[in-house]
Amino acid sequence: MSAKIDSAALAVKSGCAINLATEVLGDRWSLVVLRDMMFGNYRHFRELLNNNMEGIASNILSARLKHLQEVGLISCAPDPSHKQKLIYSLTEPAIQLVPVMATLGEWGRRHLPVTHELSVRARLLFEGGPQMWEEFMEELRELHLGRRRVVRAGAGPGVLQRLNDAYLAASKKTRSR
């Protein structure tokens, strides 16, 4: 059974699944913060702030992180490597957003004026389909939840590595033009 989002943190207007999902994810920044945690593996406040391409303000990031914690999409714990830092982790419900992110990215790629280098990961993830999504979710579970995953012998690089390699190659190609 899947973990449930904490509905006590929501202003529930109806029992409609789309409305409730919009209550959790519908602001301008929540999906972007989750994207950066998923695809950039950014786990600290400064990483999320400094590596966000859209220029999120620190007060907005702080509010989004608090909201995402309240609804149960991320957790926060002291970073064992640095006493003054916190490390943010995706929870299982957030990890299960991978197919949504893949589909949303493909929709954006088809209907909006995206750049090649910033859409290459969306294309690869969407084209990889459910098998790639599940593999990526397993990687995220290992990174964020500490669950060991079984890696097949000769499997090659993981999904996160393949997506980032494609992004770097596309960025390099764009810069060389």
Q: What's the rounded mean pLDDT across residues 29-50?
A: 97
Q: What's the rounded mean pLDDT across residues 136-148?
A: 95
Q: What is the pLDDT of residues 91-133, one digit of tens each?
A: 999 999 999 999 999 999 999 999 999 999 999 999 999 999 9
Mean pLDDT for all residues in the chain: 91
Instruction: Tell me how crowded residue 20 is: count the other CB atoms within 10 A of its CB.
Output: 17
Q: What is the 3-state secondary structure (H, E, C) of the chain?
A: CCCCCCHHHCCCCCCCHHHHHHHHHCCCCHHHHHHHHHHCCCCCHHHHHHCCCCCCCHHHHHHHHHHHHHCCCEEEEEECCEEEEEEEEECHHHHCCHHHHHHHHHHHHHHCCCCHHHHHHHHHHHHHHHHHHHHHHHHHHHHHHCCCCCCCCCCCCCHHHHHHHHHHHHHHHHHCC
| 1 pLDDT higher than 50 | no
Q: What is the pLDDT of residues 11-22, one digit of tens each?
A: 667 788 888 888
From the list 64, 70, 90, the residue with the least C-alpha distance to 5 is 70
Q: Which domains does the chain have, with CATH numbers?
A: 7-90 (1.10.10.10), 97-175 (no CATH)
The pLDDT of residue 177: 66
Global pTM reads 0.90
| 6 pLDDT higher than 70 | no
Q: What's the rounded mean pLDDT across residues 148-159?
A: 82
User: For residue 60, what are its two tokens?
Assistant: 């907005």
The pLDDT of residue 9: 67
